Amino acid sequence: MQTPSELRYSSDHEWAKLEGDRVRVGITDYAQDALGDVVFVDLPKVGATLSVGGVLGEVESTKSVSEIYAPVAGTVAVVNTALSTSPELVNSDPYGEGWICEITTSSSGDFDAMLDAAAYEALTTN
């Protein structure tokens, strides 16, 4: 499993990358592997206000449907519309082209409180 050290992670298996006042969000390599082949991604609405731990969308795979949770509070600024026609990007490139959305946040506190790569790896190997 890949766990890039420059990202932060939630215990619900989302990753986050801070870029200025925005946080790019996706699901981890561990999560996509557990889900199996992703066939649909329910993206959040641009402009939606999210709280930490709130549902921002869903990922449907050949095995199950799983909710995606917001790792930071803020407003959805951009969604990855490529997932509408190519949901398999979540499987093939979870940390790149398979990102879900970007959230504009007013504080980096939520991001800073997330797990670093070592802590996330410890969570997923126990």
Tell me the residue type at 73.
Answer: A
Q: What is the pLDDT of residues 74-96, one digit of tens each?
A: 999 999 999 999 999 999 999 99
Give the chain's domains with CATH numbers.
21-111 (2.40.50.100)
Q: Rounded to two decimals, what is the model's pTM? A: 0.93
Distance of alpha carbon 126 from alpha carbon 121, whole angstroms: 9
Q: What is the pLDDT of residues 35-47, one digit of tens each?
A: 999 999 999 999 9
Please classify residue 18 by burial: count the beta carbons closer than 10 Å to its beta carbon, then call 0-12 exposed, 13-18 middle and 19+ buried.
Answer: middle
Count of beta carbons in the 10 Å neighbourhood of residue 115: 19
Is residue 126 scored above 70 in pLDDT?
no
3-state secondary structure labels for all residues of the chain: CCCCCCCEECCCCEEEEEECCEEEEEECHHHHHHHCCEEEEECCCCCCEECCCCEEEEEEECCCEEEEECCCCEEEEEECCHHHHCCCHHHHCCCCCCCCEEEECCCCHHHHCCECHHHHHHHHHC
